[in-house]
Structure formats: C-alpha cells, structure tokens
Amino acid sequence: MMQTPYYEIEEQKLNEDIALLKGALESGWGKHSVAACSVKTNSLPWLLNHFRQNGFWAEVVSAEEYDLAMRIGFAPDKVIYNGPIKDRCVFEKVLSDGGLVNLDSSAEPEWLSEMAQERRGFDRPLRVGLRVNVDFRKLVPSEVPAEEEGSRFGYCEENGSLAAVIEKLRRIPGVLIAGLHLHSSTKSRSVKAYAAVAAFAVSLAEKYDLKELSYIDMGGGYYGGVKGKPDFRDYVPAIAGELKTYFDPEKTALILEPGVSMVSSSFNFVTSVRDVKRIGEHVYVVTDGSRVNLNPQVTRRWYPHHLEYKTADDGKAGARKMLPSQMICGATCMEYDRLFEEENAPELREGDLVIYDLAGGYTICLTPLFIHYFPAVLVKKEDGTLYTARDPWTNDEFLAGNHWT
C-alpha cells in the first residue's frame, strides 16, 4: 500500500475525457479547432506533457507558465498568452513565434505599436486577439445569481473601450485583429450561457466588421465529469450553432481552453485516517491530508469523496457502529482544517482511507508550503501499473535556492 497522502491520476479516465473533447470539437466544428490546456489549473509537468502529446496547445498567463510550457516541449506557435498583466518580453516572443496573444490592458496596444514600428518591412503581420468583457447580467440574466459580481476582464463594449481599441489597432500598419477571446465567468456554467456568449461574439463581429477573424476563443469554465451536468457534447454544438451563423469553420478556428473540466474527474486525493478523537458529543476523524491540499482558500465545506475501509467487511451494515456525525479533519494544527461532516455512516478507524474525487483542478497548483510539503503524485497507467509523476517534497527541495548564512 502506498504511503499517504498522495494524488492519483487515472490515465484511462483522463484519456477518455480528452477523447470526448476532441470528438466533440471534430464533430461540432471540424478539423479547424483547437484545445488548449489551462496551465494555471494544474501545472503538473507530467500532465502538461500528456496534453501536449495529445495535440493540445498551452494556455499561459505569466512568464513563468510560458517558460514551463517551453521546457515541457510545447511548440512556440502552439501557445496562447492571456491575462491582465503580461510580461513584455514574453508578449513579443509569443507574437514573433506565431503564437496567439489576446490583448487585455491599456499598455498592450502601445507595446504592439512600438513592436510594429520595429518590424517594418516584415511580410507577416502581427496577429492579435482581443479579450472582450462579457456582461452576463445583460446576456443571460436568468443564469446569474444575485450575489455574483461582473467580470473585471476584457475590453468593455458598452462604454466604448472595445470600439476604441479596435480603431487604434486598425491604425497601426502591420497589425491584424485575428480573433476574439470571450470567457464565461458565470457560476451557472450552463449551455445556455455559452450559447449566449457565442451569439455575442457574432454580434460584435457584425457590428465592427470583423469578417476575417481567424479564431474565436471561447475560453474555459466548463463542467466536466460531474453527473447530471453538461459536458462538451452539449457545449460544443450549442456554441457552434451560434458561431456558424456568421463564421465559416473552414476559415475561422474555434478554440476552447478547458481547465477543471479536463483534469477534475481523473484525479483523486488519497488520505488515511490517523486518529479518531471524541470530545464531548463530537467525533473528530484526523487524516494525513488537509484542506490546504484541496481548497487552501477555505471556500468549501464539502468535497466529493468516497471511503474505503481497511477490511472488506468493515464497511458493511452492522459490522461497525453507525455514527450520526463524524467531522473529517486535516493534519495541520489549524482549527479551520475541517473538511466535511460525514453523516450516518459506519465509524471510521485508523488505517481507513478517505479519498477525495474530482481533485485535479486548482488543487496541486494552489497547495502552499504550509506545515507539510507537497504530496506525491502517482499515475495509474492504463495497464494498471503505477508511475510516480512527482516525488513528495522534503526539506531538500524546500531549502534549494534559500540562503541563511
């Protein structure tokens, strides 16, 4: 039995999710489509390389992520550079290498103008996209919870910012507006919301005479691997149905940037029960995992999970005492490290496993160096063997690059 805690990747499930996405894009839009993995969602090198080997591009939002993508082996022209604060050197490098850059600030058009002046005489224009702010309260008011704030990203169409940047770019010789980037930030993640965003893209292209766009980037934020929720077989036809009213799939690429939807269902986080404490009327089950491995922002009070009892019959009714409430806690010394309440279940004992499902998105990449270091990551290969994608960190890794004498 492997030493817990550790993340486990089911390679077969990951490949099934990849095939589902690629199949939906192929049937819904055709060969002129792109899937780009969101590096920020899970930057595990093994995972990024697996996506690269399956034809994905890299979607990056920092100089560090760009450098990582290059080290992993992504082709320079298979990179999408997004984000509100970009590194100018990376900005220029991606554009020069033929990658995609989606503008999203007041400074970037100025950089582009200066870059175009320096490149006078080049045959190939600088092709850029524009991140567009999407007002979901206006597009799909029934899909937006009352407490949800609007997005802070992209150029706003309503106040004239989008029109101004389009006009400015059109005045720069050697610059071509090649795409629009739109992202669904609404918590509903419904098919209706994505269809509305696609229809909005069409309306913008018509209004601003953007007939020759080479791509529409619909961003990320999709459901994936969640029972009862839509997947790409639902999203892509709805998006494509709207976009095809104006764009030709043979001339304009459809780009998706899936994050959680691609890495969630194939990841588990495996922890062991190390102690059970009874204090007053409460039962505290102490595990060797932690909230910081799954949700360091402390925004969740429940996690998809399943339990594995250390003997085959111990989880059966009658084999163990049924308890109305057991609080599953983490390994840190912080009171808030309480993950969820297990209700009306057989009592947990030392050695039992608490396994968190759907654990691939914004977990590994957000885990802080707090009390315990990074857990191992194992890949369960399709042939059943285990491959170590990351060793657990020790003080050797932590001290590397530090100086104290």
Query: Strand ranges (DSSP E) for 331-397?
Result: 338-346, 353-356, 376-380, 386-390
- Cα Rg of the chain (Å, integer): 24
The region of weakest confidence among 219-228, 286-295, 323-332 is 219-228
| pLDDT at residue 147, rounded to an integer | 67
pLDDT digits (tens, 9 = 90+) for 175-210: 999 999 999 877 789 999 999 999 999 999 999 999
**Which three-class secondary structure string do you get for 99-151?**
CEEEECCCCHHHHHHHHHHHCCCCCCCEEEEEEECCCHHHHCHHHCCCCCCCC
Task: With H, G, I as helix, E, B as strand and everything else as coil, classify residue 205.
Answer: helix
Per this entry, what is the length of the chain?
405
**Single-letter amino acid code for the residue at 262:** M
Q: Chain-wide mean pLDDT for the chain? A: 93
Q: What pLDDT score does 121 carry?
A: 57
291-314 average pLDDT score:
85
The pLDDT of residue 312 is 60
Beta-carbon contacts of residue 76 (< 8 Å; ≥ 6 apart): 70, 93, 94, 97, 98, 99
**Distance of CA 153 to CAs 131, 132, 133, 224, Å?**
7, 7, 6, 24
The whole-number pLDDT of residue 29 equals: 98
Q: pTM of the predicted model, to two decimals?
A: 0.94
Which of 140-144, 154-158, 255-259, 345-349 shows the lowest mean pLDDT across its residues?
A: 140-144
- The arithmetic mean of pLDDT across residues 223-242, rounded, is 94
Summarize pLDDT for 47-77 with one digit per residue, the tens: 999 999 999 999 999 999 999 999 999 999 9
Q: Which CATH number fits domain 267-398: 3.40.50.880, 3.50.50.60, 2.60.120.10, 2.40.37.10?
A: 2.40.37.10
DSSP at 379: E
In sequence order, the β-bridge partners of residue 38 are 59
Domain range summary for the chain, segments of one domain joined by +: 10-263, 267-398
Residue 192: which H helix or E strand, with range? helix 191-207
The model's confidence at residue 133, banded by pLDDT at 50, 70 and 90, is very high
- DSSP type of residue 320: B
Give the least confident one: 215-219, 222-226, 399-403: 222-226
Same fold, 10-263 and 267-398: no
pLDDT digit string, tens, across residues 9-52: 999 999 999 999 999 999 999 999 999 999 999 999 999 999 99
Please count the CA atoms within 13 angstroms of the CA of 320 that sit on its side-chain side.
18
What pLDDT does residue 142 have? 83
Structure token pair of residue 239 = 């998006």
Select the CATH number that applies to the domain covering 10-263 from these four: 3.20.20.10, 3.40.50.150, 3.40.50.300, 3.30.390.30: 3.20.20.10
Q: What is the pLDDT of residue 219?
A: 96
pLDDT of residue 79: 98
**Which pLDDT value is given to residue 3?**
94
b/e 212-248 (16+ beta carbons within 10 angstroms → b):
ebebbbbbbbbbbbeeeebbbebbbebbbebbbebbe
